Amino acid sequence: MNDMNDDILQAVYRVILERKANPSEQSYTASLMAKGIDKILKKLGEEATEVVIAGKGGAREEIIYETADLFFHTLVLLGYCGINPDEIYDELRRRFGMSGIAEKESRDR
């Protein structure tokens, strides 16, 4: 990912944290946070399924749109759990250049 992509994810994440700290009735994010982890996970599962359906359909714009929804709702989950996206980037960096098989074996130990 380039810095510009990192920046937009961080910017969205900062807004999510702001909505969590200062909820308003007009905020979709604040309403998700207020409904709790089960609602957030349900929405994340729905978005993941929509990405799968879009991928199966093969329409480029639909895949992009649904993936953006998935990224957003993933950031909501991270914000709810107090996990900064940098922690995810660090894990991806740790895995970079490692075979998937070797990475899985390293977790099984």
pLDDT band at 7 (very low <50, low <70, confident <90, very high): confident
Q: How many domains does one find in the chain?
A: 1
The answer as to whether 108 is a domain residue is no
Range of the domain at 71: 3-97
- Is 71 within the bounds of a domain? yes
pLDDT at site 39: 98
| Residue 26 belongs to a domain | yes
Band (107; pLDDT cuts 50, 70, 90):
low
In a domain, residue 40? The reply is yes
Per-residue pLDDT of 50-63, as tens digits, reads: 999 999 998 999 99
* Contact predicate 39/32, CB 8 Å: yes
Say what the pLDDT of residue 98 is: 74
- pLDDT band of residue 45 (cuts 50, 70, 90) is very high
Q: Which residues of 16-42 are buried (b: 16+ CB within 10 A; e: fewer)?
A: bbebbeeeeeebebbebbeeeeeebee
**C-alpha angle 97-91-66 in degrees, rounded to nearest 5:** 95
For residue 56, what is the domain's CATH number?
A: 1.10.287.1080
CA angle 101, 66, 96 (to 5 degrees): 25
In a domain, 49, yes or no: yes
Q: What's the rounded Cα separation, in Å, for the pair 74 and 81? A: 11
Percent of the chain with pLDDT over 70: 88
